[in-house]
Amino acid sequence: MEVTTTEKMLLDRFGGSPLLSTQQVAEILHRSPEGLRITMSGNTDVAQLLRSCKLKIGRRVYFRVSSIAQLIDEA
């Protein structure tokens, strides 16, 4: 799988981790973490795209860098 420029930028910015926290994704999208949660709870196209990027590990919610980069590139 090829790494896009956006994906590389996100990996460099957040220490190379393949997963991003809600706080980090909110920062990328210029929203508050609570605003991001509210957006994801809706029934919009953006909410559905964000939910598809989500990964739960225990009680914590993470997002795949590759999916977030693809979402940004296709916007």
**pLDDT tens per residue across span 24-73:** 999 999 999 999 999 999 999 999 999 999 999 999 999 999 999 999 99
Whole-structure pTM value: 0.88
User: Does pLDDT of 14 surpass 90?
Assistant: yes
CA 54 to chain centre: 7
With a CB cutoff of 8 Å and minimum separation 6, the contacts of 11 are 3, 17, 18, 65
Confidence of residue 4 (pLDDT cuts 50, 70, 90): confident
**What is the pLDDT, as a whole number, of residue 1?**
62
Average pLDDT of 17-28?
A: 96
Q: Could you count the other beta carbons within 10 Å of the beta carbon of residue 2?
A: 4
